[in-house]
Structure 1
């Protein structure tokens, strides 16, 4: 039995290790980031699809393609407006929830955040020009207005990913007696890890947006709408999603190069490597219970081959890493395997689709495939969210890997943070419901043949008599 003074000392130590505001801050950040990241994917990928559809309409003189481009732009505007709210909230939350991080490293991270804000405003400007330009600009000039939207969406996402990549592989500064000196903000933007992590996210955005949009038209075809509008509306985003789904396993594999040196604890959690084994097996499923791996299916050699690019080189186990540096292993492992499993399923599905199409079989006439296509969008969302959980939870207990632990960064106002979390949950729920209501209303009007909402403020157009 522990003496009272020892118990008191351990209690104080635990309190110091995990501030009261840490849990609500984590929950708040998870809610905001998890909600916003879906909308950010549309901001990255949707403009390229709109541009492609508009270009098809111009070159083929296809009114169906032009109408789809116009409708997609309006949907993009709705998603952009909602994303602007959640993105702004995230900007404030970085300083509010994590004052230790921003107070210490604000000078290092200021440049990418500034560029992200500039890209956001430019994207909004050109989205407005594109929406207003229908029927008012020459077609070839009008379609070019989508390109700045696409570029600024990519730049904004890149800047945010640069900050996250920096948190995983910090660079561009020196710590001297606890003070940040020799700040090189450009090193944050052009960190090698930024390019690879952004590529992974960029491809994932096309998977999410492409499968989700295609799924909408798959549902329409399941309900009997097998016209040119639905087939073209399905095929264009599905092509983008297909290329992304097939590319993603290779991009993800490149991102994993050197993870055993950069973040060995994260790799050990990904692979559920409790001990160092040579060669290491690939563990499908499984959890760690009392330091022992249970309920997994082990495939010999494959863990070393995939993680280490070697048939026998071992994956460093958790036994080689101090326990205080272990991430939440089970959550990290299961999130990683969820991402990989869904990504593999989607990649296999699109390969099968195009293989059958090459053989002259149109799977769009098969209801089972349309049902699968309708679920591919939600599956892509789950895979993306699981990937972010694996990345962020796997980095713990560090908010800046190897430099600052997460408890050091959080603010000390737990009661206020719980209220903030509750209010945010209500607001995000309301915005989600509002977005669904607006988009469904737009879809009903379009099916009824109404192109635009009537405006009570528009001037009356005089009747023209022959």
Structure 2
């Protein structure tokens, strides 16, 4: 294994692991806040129980996310020193702001966890809102940095060095806000449906449990609307990619040849050598319509890009197809749940819906992982699009397979610990008598 491949593999594994906890850290505080708000509004202590249970699960996930996020911050400097040297003046302030948001989130999460009986309900609820806002801001700063790597702006390049740097330029670029909105919607949808799937599973076993019925309703409230909005966000981000990263868009759609009336491909296996797509379903003019609202519009293909600048087409195309498929399933389930809500029917009464929610519980995170594959692999061979190649940014330190192996074992252990801890927490919650809790949470 080459050092470049080892470094890329380690970074990919670290990002794939951390993004799960980052997404949960964005949306879980919102779930806690909604449950606590319902308790404050109704006085029903069972909603207090719900907020307390979710806060304990959030604490477990936050702790592991903090570890994996710290690892990522070190890897940026250790594995990609040339990237940090050149891009530091632009992405450095964004990472510093993300660190500030993270510490704010950690402080107020501590207040939230241990302040149930120590501060007033209003102050406690406010702490939960600050935790939620800090998690969202963390995502905004990190995704803005990634968006800048996809569409670099705010500098001049002189003799290979960045000059006249504008550190706020990433926030003024439309790519950043398209990507930020897409990621936030994905985090809320994925977390909402994961939590809904857990409580739907428990409702299939015990349909009379108030706790699980209300938890399911709250989770779908948090995840359902973002799932319905995500296809609109996806359309906007695809149009943005077509303008700023045409090679990535061509790889996403496996479009090898520039053509008017470009087809939209469903499924299929791209063959880069023959420049064809096998087993795909082609919708004539579909891609031109989606991008330009014109069935005869010209869409640049990969033939407009030098062969050495192609991303891995099969990986990007299949990941894109997987992301879209998962997103459409979640949107359909959100619409199904909304139909029940409009008709005033209990979600727990539809056992087929509950089974669908259980089956779809992990799909939001599958879509997030696939989406980040599209984002990162689709930018290759550039670490900063058309400015710095990934091969030129990797550290010259040899033997990178060793830290890659070490961190792989670390993530496997952390994954096992998280699964064990969350399983025990959910099982303990389900075993307890789910009557109103009057004692303070530990």
Q: Normalised by the size of structure 2, how large is the TM-score?
A: 0.94
* Equivalent position of 1:122 in the other structure: 104
* Equivalent position of 2:5 in the other structure: 23
* Equivalent position of 2:385 in the other structure: 401
Correspondence 1:2-17 to 2 at 5 A: none
What is the distance in 2 between the residues matched to 1:281 and 1:343? 21
What is the distance in 2 between the residues matched to 1:48 and 1:161? 20
Is 1:443 aligned with 2:416?
Answer: no
* Equivalent position of 1:162 in the other structure: 144
- Residue of 35, 51, 60 corresponding to 2:17: 35
Cα pair 1:20 1:412 within 8 Å, conserved = no
* Equivalent position of 1:379 in the other structure: 363
Cα pair 1:24 1:414 within 8 Å, conserved = no
Cα pair 1:172 1:183 within 8 Å, conserved = yes
CA 226–277 in structure 1, closer or farther in 2 if over 3 Å, else same: farther
Q: Secondary structure at the match of 1:296?
A: strand
Is 1:142 aligned with 2:124?
Answer: yes
- Residue of 47, 64, 76 corresponding to 1:65: 47
CA 159–235 in structure 1, closer or farther in 2 if over 3 Å, else same: same
CA 69–223 in structure 1, closer or farther in 2 if over 3 Å, else same: same
Q: CA deviation at 1:191?
A: 2.9
What is the distance in 2 between the residues matched to 1:246 and 1:208? 12
* Equivalent position of 1:424 in the other structure: 407
Q: CA deviation at 1:364?
A: 2.4
Gaps of 5+ in 2: none
Cα pair 1:20 1:414 within 8 Å, conserved = no
Deviations 1:84-114 (A, max 9, x none): 0000000001111111101222122110011
Deviations 1:316-341 (A, max 9, x none): 11112111111101111111111111
Gaps of 5+ in 1: 1-18, 456-466
Q: Secondary structure at the match of 2:282?
A: strand
* Equivalent position of 2:167 in the other structure: 185
* Equivalent position of 1:4 in the other structure: none
Q: CA deviation at 1:358?
A: 2.8
* Max Rg structure: 1
Cα pair 2:52 2:441 within 8 Å, conserved = no
Correspondence 1:229-308 to 2 at 5 A: 229-289=211-271, 290-308=274-292
Q: Secondary structure at the match of 2:177?
A: helix
What is the distance in 1 between the residues matched to 2:365 and 2:412? 17
Q: Secondary structure at the match of 1:73?
A: helix
Q: Secondary structure at the match of 2:294?
A: coil
Q: CA deviation at 1:310?
A: 2.1
CA 325–220 in structure 1, closer or farther in 2 if over 3 Å, else same: same
* Equivalent position of 1:13 in the other structure: none
Q: Secondary structure at the match of 1:145?
A: helix
Cα pair 1:308 1:315 within 8 Å, conserved = no
- Residue of 324, 336, 340 corresponding to 2:324: 340
What is the distance in 2 between the residues matched to 1:342 and 1:396? 24
Q: Secondary structure at the match of 2:189?
A: helix
CA 400–321 in structure 1, closer or farther in 2 if over 3 Å, else same: same
Q: CA deviation at 1:439?
A: 2.0
Q: Secondary structure at the match of 1:137?
A: coil
- Residue of 406, 417, 421 corresponding to 1:434: 417
Cα pair 1:162 1:191 within 8 Å, conserved = no
Q: Normalised by the size of structure 1, how large is the TM-score?
A: 0.90
* Equivalent position of 2:351 in the other structure: 367
Cα pair 1:206 1:241 within 8 Å, conserved = yes
Q: CA deviation at 1:282?
A: 1.0
Q: Secondary structure at the match of 1:266?
A: helix
What is the distance in 2 between the residues matched to 1:60 and 1:258? 45
CA 363–147 in structure 1, closer or farther in 2 if over 3 Å, else same: closer
* Equivalent position of 1:7 in the other structure: none
CA 71–454 in structure 1, closer or farther in 2 if over 3 Å, else same: closer
Q: CA deviation at 1:258?
A: 3.8
Q: Secondary structure at the match of 1:185?
A: coil
Q: CA deviation at 1:50?
A: 0.9
Indicate the larger mover: 23-32 or 225-234. Answer: 225-234
What is the distance in 1 between the residues matched to 2:156 and 2:441? 59
What is the distance in 2 between the residues matched to 1:248 and 1:454? 36
Number of aligned residue pairs: 436
Indicate the larger mover: 21-30 or 305-314. Answer: 305-314
Q: Secondary structure at the match of 2:255?
A: coil
Q: CA deviation at 1:181?
A: 1.1
- Residue of 81, 89, 103 corresponding to 1:99: 81
Deviations 1:163-212 (A, max 9, x none): 10000011121111222211211223443321111000000000111001
Cα pair 1:29 1:93 within 8 Å, conserved = yes
